[in-house]
Amino acid sequence: MPLKVLNTFKGVNKLDSFSIGTMYAAELKNLSGENFPAVKTRPGFLNLGGGIGGKVLGIGVWKETEIHAVFSDGTWRKWNGSSWTTLASGLNTSAPWTFTNFKGALSDINLFGTNGVDQMRRYDGVSVVTVPDAPAGAKYVTQFADRLWCAVGNELKASAYRDGTDWTTVSVPEQDTDSWYAIIETPDGEEINGIHGGLSKLVITKPSSMHELFGYAPSDYEIRPVTFDIGSLNDQSMVTLNGILYMIDSTGIYRYSGGTLPDKYFSKRVQYYIDTMNKSAANQSCIGTDGLRIYISIPSAGASAPDTVLVYDPEHNENEGGTWYVWKDMYPLHFALVQGSLYFGDNTGKVQQITGTDDNGTPISWEWISGPMTAPSLAQIIRWLTAWITVNLPSGSTFNLYLSSQSQGDSDWTLVHSLSSSSDVSSTPIYLQSNAKVDFERYIRFKLAGTGPMTLYELTWDEQYNPLR
């Protein structure tokens, strides 16, 4: 009788479920590869105060020490460690914000922010003030090559050299220290929807195109198109990790490191989630990083806001494109990294830190569902006789094993075993009776599901095949 051992868990794979292999999950929720090759319950989150205004419009971080957020009640606030302190009010209640740090000619590093409606603002360590010289309608502020950059329509604009408050100086003749702008025309007439300064060249995107700024001063600036087929969903849809730009386009999740076109081969196992996401809410998607992994928040079919987080680990399973996991029960609209901790703002007006073992006091529900397993030939039938599970299951957590004789769907899961909690790693045998409703079937799928912290190291099972029939 064949003995099967699953002790390397490679995350989710939404390609053909008959072909993915047992090391992949056909469906997965709230699991993490942090202990790869084992799999464990994802980390939880902790609320920073209660919800404000119903929606977070943007998160900024001043000098890697203070978390700032703009809420849909029109306020800009900072977190003082125990509550939100209001710094500005009367701001637009729906336009999303972007932030960047910049010093230039100022006495200290300032946090600049803009939303395309209100006049650009900056926080100087004490208060929030306007930047009167900044262009009206400025969006997507970022810093690159000792200047601040923004976009207005299809115009790319830059501040004067090392002066984020000067956007109007133009000398005669022109000087390399002057402010600068360029119009980026494309055949479809789209406006700029994102600027990213995380690579050696400034990246400018539209919904259907991508461009790069070469040079370091106005006298040698040159904007070159990268592609007219791939763009980004919005300014929050780009992030850099280890010198590689990751971005979300309406057609896929791409990575770009310069010199070649962006590629999405590494994300083919989760292309399903892009293909089925709610396109009408896709412009609320966002992407972030904790310095090790990429976090991609998108709306599932029918969702009015992002409700699915795809977590990509580029290091594990590297030869096959890394590992992917799917997190639910969190709704990020903006990500921010603060001293090694990842924070996000959601569509209920809360800013939350990814940490701990529960969701602000609520146990985390998780599951791993296999693809259909068969005998060597589909003309044979298959039966499980015995299974063993090696798991770390702290007190208070639950762990259940279900079997199904269907190749897909959720209508016939049969609970065959529940594990008791233990503070130690335990190896538990499970003897499967013929009345478990999976007695000699064409297909067998298993589902592991539970609540609370858990680390799964191995699932082993004994199979029996019948002759061709």
pLDDT tens profile 19-65: 999 999 999 999 999 999 999 999 999 999 999 999 999 999 999 99
pLDDT band at residue 430 under the 50/70/90 scheme: confident
CB 373 within 8 A of CB 25: no
Distance of CA 234 to the CA centre of its chain: 14
State residue 318's pLDDT score: 73
User: What are the sequence ranges of the domains in the chain?
Assistant: 3-43+366-465
For domain 3-43+366-465, the question of CATH label 2.60.120.260 is answered with yes
pTM of the model: 0.96
How many residues comprise the chain?
469
Strand partners, 60: 68
CB 215 within 8 A of CB 226: no
State residue 446's pLDDT score: 95
| Residues in CB range of 156: below 8 A, 6 or more apart | 149, 181, 182, 183, 184, 192, 195, 204, 213, 223
Whether the CA torsion 50, 348, 338, 312 is positive or negative: it is positive
Query: Tell me: the pLDDT tens digits for 301-318?
Result: 999 999 999 999 998 877
State residue 1's pLDDT score: 56
State residue 52's pLDDT score: 97
- Of 175, 195, 14, nearest in space to 98 by CA: 195
State residue 343's pLDDT score: 98
pLDDT band at residue 439 under the 50/70/90 scheme: confident
pLDDT at 434 over 60: no
Mean pLDDT of the chain: 93
Instruction: State the burial class of residue 420 (Cβ atoms within 10 Å of its Cβ: 0-12, 13-18, 19+).
Output: exposed
Residue that is written with structure tokens 């709610």 in the block:
278
State residue 268's pLDDT score: 96
Helix (H) or strand (E) holding 447: strand 445-451
Cα 57 to Cα 73: distance, rounded to the nearest angstrom: 10
